[in-house]
Chain A
């Protein structure tokens, strides 16, 4: 009983991790399957076919590349804009500051269906056609809030005296920004950018509202394909995405662990 109590936390953690990771494991296992028929729901026999031909199903790689393009562009633009907004909100007192603060939270609080449909209404009203550009604009819009929140938290902890010290030591404003300010805020910016990318890459609802037949993103493809059958390639790409993001997170933790060790 004492032993059980002592290890309760470990036990709970393991159960949680299992529940969290099980779907990914299942996805990975099924990526090596060769199903009978169009639905990849029953393990039949081991095969590397899907891994050898990840683009083997028509449209899948087009949708993936569109999603990557939109994800990268949206996160890049949202990160740049969001960082600037975060600095403005964190550093300066200006009229409309609290209103901006509030509005920045709106996209996070609004249900996606509402946002998706109202964006569609907006685009139609101003005569803009749906498609990848509309999707991109929508993604930048909702990613922005997350970047602002992540960067602002970092800016708030930044000691303004460090920048004064840099100026005092003869550093011009631009040099100060790149040598002192940016490196110190970088973890927040990186977190915001990663979050923005994964939100954009993942989004289905808002994207679906504003898409056209030539702008099928990966989530839309998977959803559409699921009506007719689930190609094994979906599992392959899903597994790759999972491994890549785990690698990112581990890499990030390794860097910060090394920093923490150096700083302790």
Chain B
């Protein structure tokens, strides 16, 4: 079904929302490409739901415009917008059967094939067998799929999903993530998926916008966000980071720059260092650090904790200045270190990211270098 219709971009222009004295969403610009799977990721209270509600028309923006393609829909009512929502709490109509719930939107548009289409969509989410049941008779995962079917059956320009997997247990969550991804590629609708689960966002989305305190901190594809976070908040919110307090000590030589962290000389990739920055955080992901001296940058420390997780072993290694680095070593047969052992940690230039030190290092909660 993908490609049978031109899905248009959703554009938010300087959109903001103030509740009495509280600004839930700071003026923001955001373009969501048509047909993409877009994730809005951020901690609780950062304004994700508010942003979705403005797109759905359930909340009027304080400033700014909302466009779908060439149309400005800012002033239209929720029921006039070709946008559908899968609510955080599902909000299924308890007095209607599953089928009636799914057909509700099409019937409002006077679609004579409403029931047939509703049945087809129930097939798509594999719920044809419960069509005549009431929502209260279904499990959480089934209700979630009904909510999804009720929205996508209308073939909206944009589908908004507000933490639709929040209430599910881990196994069902994983299953539904795959399901959602499949359905999205099948129907080719623009999905905006709100979540505060970074893993979920990274596995599902083409593009992720990381939100914090009503602002978008960074926007990009999952790999870019993970490898090149633009702020300590993003670095700590997406996965684990070791942030080392450091100074750039010289100019670039052969694509690398000398730096010093706690009197250890290290090299960082020059293209990772923002122009003119001297006081920096050097961020290294736990899986980029290796036990042993195979990498060019080396630091010595003592193992304080080792936990075996099956596919990997996770170490905490105390630095001479007290800070503990997290190291994740793949369980690939390389020798394991024990608690109390003195080890050398190493990594290669280019495996780090470099951020301005004026940012608080624990934004988004992470490991703090003293």
Interface of A with B (CB < 8 Å)? 159, 161-162, 164-173, 175, 179-180, 183-184, 262-264
Contact = CB atoms under 8 A, between A and B. Distances in A.
A132 B151 CA distance: 54
Contacts of B78: 164, 167-168
Contacts of B134: 262-263
B122 to A, nearest CB: 16
B93 interface: yes
Contact of A165 (B77, B85, B95, B137): B85
Pairs A-B, 10 closest by C-beta atoms? A169-B105, A165-B91, A167-B78, A161-B91, A170-B108, A263-B136, A167-B79, A171-B108, A168-B85, A183-B95
A175 B108 contact: yes
Given A263-B136, A263-B137, A264-B137, A170 B91 contact: no
Contact of B91 (A159, A179, A262): A159
A86 B218 CA distance: 47
B150 interface: yes
Contacts of A263: 94, 134, 136-137
Given A164-B78, A165-B85, A179-B104, 18 more contacts: A165-B91, A165-B93, A167-B57, A167-B77, A167-B78, A168-B79, A168-B84, A169-B105, A169-B150, A169-B151, A170-B79, A171-B104, A171-B108, A172-B108, A175-B108, A184-B95, A262-B137, A263-B136
A173 B108 CA distance: 12
Contacts of A171: 79, 104-105, 108
A162 B94 CA distance: 9
Nearest to B84: A168
Contacts of A167: 57-58, 77-79
A162 B58 contact: no
Contacts, number: 68
B23 interface: no
A164 B83 CA distance: 13
A262 B97 CA distance: 10
B93 A170 contact: no
B109 interface: yes
A6 B91 CA distance: 44
Nearest to B82: A170
B91 A162 contact: yes
Contacts of B92: 165
B136 A170 contact: no
Contacts of A180: 93
A54 to B, nearest CB: 40
Contacts of B154: 169-170
B323 interface: no
B89 to A, nearest CB: 6
A235 B199 CA distance: 75
B137 A164 contact: no
Interface string B49-61: 0000000111000
A159 B108 CA distance: 21
Contacts of A170: 79-80, 105, 108-109, 154
B143 to A, nearest CB: 13
Interface in B121-151: 133-134, 136-137, 150-151
B104 A164 contact: no
Contacts of A159: 89, 91
B51 to A, nearest CB: 15
A180 B91 CA distance: 11
Given A161-B89, A165-B93, A183-B95, A172 B137 contact: no
13 contacts: A159-B89, A164-B58, A164-B91, A165-B91, A168-B83, A169-B84, A169-B151, A170-B105, A170-B109, A173-B79, A183-B95, A262-B137, A263-B136
B91 A169 contact: no
Contact of A172 (B79, B105, B150): B79
Interface in B69-92: 77-80, 83-85, 87, 89, 91-92
A34 B304 CA distance: 101
A161 B109 CA distance: 21
Contact of A169 (B77, B94, B104, B133): B104
